[in-house]
Structure 1
Amino acid sequence: MPRASVDVGTATATVATLVEAVRDHGSVAVLDATERFDGVRPASLRVPAAVLTASLESADPRVVAALRESITRARLGHAAQVPTGSRTDIAPGGVVEQRWVPVSRVGLYVPGGLALYPSSVVMNVVPAQVAGVAGIAVTSPAQKTNDGWPDPNVLAACALLGVDEVYAAGGAQGVALLAYGAVDTDGTVIEPVDVITGPGNVYVTAAKRLVRGLVAIDSEAGPTEIAVIADASASPAHVAADLISQAEHDPLAAAVLITTSEWLADAVDAEIARRVPGTRHADRVTVALSGEQSGVVLVSSVDDAVAVSDAYAAEHLEIQTVDAAAVAARVRHAGAVFVGPWSPVSLGDYCAGSNHVLPTSGIARFTAGLNVLTFLKSMQVITYDETALKAVSEDVLVLSAAENLPAHGEAVSARFEQRFSA
């Protein structure tokens, strides 16, 4: 299956000037870009604390309750990811410890284009908080309908999570702001971050590519994807609804059914035709489902279905087969796997306790979704006493000589030279 055509290279050339402008001119460049692209110029980049509080107080109580549940479940799921340190006695008197240390400061990008994503606040902030990150900044596009501040539900989610450093900056300029920092309109310094995470459009992805190396990033996100492995036991209504649910994200979204059943393939097509006209974003869904990136792959066995799925390496993979858990256990490449008829992808988008920031475009072959480890560094701590160093000193000398780096060996032998006073 081909992927949707997204040219990050061209987008990178397009946004390079903007990213450089933010680097050189700070908040003025960010505000100029915000006015140009979002049609509004907020009074400052940082959202005032009073606006955050008011957003939470005025939010729909049902939305607040749902966000609280999402946060609770996400904390449970991400707490299980926290690694423990270790101590290894390499030799008598020689110890290597593995410590996990959180990065100091992170910037979390929350999209605000075709849809608004308070759930992405949860998915970005919770693993950073569980990892123990001290400095957390969130940035999200300014909204003309909210006096130039980000979406009210996004702000309410930030307030619920105790994040008070929130900026009205979207697109490439938002990413550049996080990477380079700036001075806000009131003279407040916006410090640069160490890691930038969060999904976004092709221009956000391009900006992340440009600042990678100056900061760490989670991944270069492309259009969302769902693949479903299904056999004749699957419900056509369930499969069709799940394919449609991801197609409503973006006209470039991919929806792929991998099935052993020609009957199911035809039934899902019929169900999609019945459901799409009644969905709110029917035009967007229709474009996505009729694009070259979406379709049905008919295979002769579940073994072949797994092989196709692993080759495709979908962002989201559902397993709707007989003995779905056993099939899921064989999958090697997917951002997240949803097992059985009662585990739709939309559950993972909000309240499964997993994370919905996942690798797209086939990079699930070598990249994991956003998790606690994204915000942690493994640090090795080496402690040798005199006896332990002496026991291995000859090996260090031999290897340093073999690499023509004699001073390396001398840094060890110098510790054992006989010294006499005059």
Structure 2
Amino acid sequence: MTTPAGGVLALAVAALVGVAAAPALAQSKRYPPPPVDADDVERSPSRLWEEVLHPRRGHYERLVVAARDLLARDRAGAVEEAQKLVEEARQLMPDGVEAHWLAALVYERTHTWQACAEAYDRVYALDPDYRPGERPGSLPAGRQAAWALDYGLATCMAQTGAYERAIAHWTRIAGRGFSAEARVHLPLGETYMALGRLAEAIAVLRAADERASKQPRVDYALAVAYDRNEMPGEARRHLLAAWAKNPSLGALEDPGAIFIPAADGYYYRALAHAERGMSPTALVFFRHYLARAGDGPWAPRAREHIAALAPAASSSALVVASGSLAVDRDTLGEAVGRIDAELQACVRPFPSVLFRLRVNLLAAPRVRRTVGVKAEVVHAFDADDAAVAAAQGCLEGVAEGLPLPVPARAQGSLTVDLPVIAR
């Protein structure tokens, strides 16, 4: 007996409907069915047909659900597992919007910016007005579904250097009635600054400051913008405001903080440390900024800061003493100055490494000896570990001969700490 093709389809659908209906008949008043996800209800009228006409969809949706659940979890390895699932789902259904959306979230979390931009761009091509569901894992914290696509796309585009496209998407958010969102003004202002458009950057960042007056990150951004505009008074005012809100610099040192471009994070930190009188730390961050940013629009300004900071980063000027032995501060500085050339010879090959040198001394009426010399690495960029370790050994050897100004009959202990950086 031969069944027409239409009959096969009808039988398949009937079988699926029968299977789907069976659990409903088995439900009792005492044991009601579990709550139904609103998104699933919205899709349910077409799901049975999809299972028949597109048998891959069932597997696709299982992959998407599993990936979304992983992204909602806060455990090691979850993002990597989710990446494998969404990539398989994207292969199964290249036009499946949700898989591309979850892939974009994965790559944004891992700061894989080009892949992130491409995944968001694919979502935008398929559905420019796409709104992710509200279920855990579908929407990054702090974002609204109405503008999440534009925000993610702008964020990742900016990190790849596609600044004009990023600006288009951030302004699209504002144009759709979300202009009060300070979280949009901050990255928009930073993107204008990356293009060298300081007047626009400052105007947008001031708007962000009005909407988020308690956020130190906005003050830091304004400080950088004014500094680059050669308005040191305004820059300092915003640095002090940020300092009052964020004494620990946590807003700049948070591993999850995103700067546009990424290298600007080092400029921000350098400027903040310079204001606090921490010249060696500011110096190492400005140098690393130059290494990362290259000859961008703000490289000349960074070089001006480096030239001004280098003399102030002298070890002899910044040496600190503690302990029961009293020593004259100026005399101690002179003693460090006598070995400064040797210290500089040790660190000259490593301009982007900041060392801290500690010397401990014990003194008694007839005994005076150095009991410990230790060179530590505070910040290190673009340097080979073995070479840096050799520099530490060199510093410790030089410090063994530090002529500390301790009277011959003195008794007690002395600890000397000094930063060492190539100048």
TM-score range, shorter chain: under 0.3
Alignment TM-score, normalising by the size of structure 1: 0.23
Q: Which has the higher contact order (CA 8 A, sep 6+)?
A: 1
Q: When the two structures are superposed, what TM-score results if normalisation uses the length of structure 2?
A: 0.23
The structure carrying a bigger strand percent of its residues is 1
Larger Rg: 2
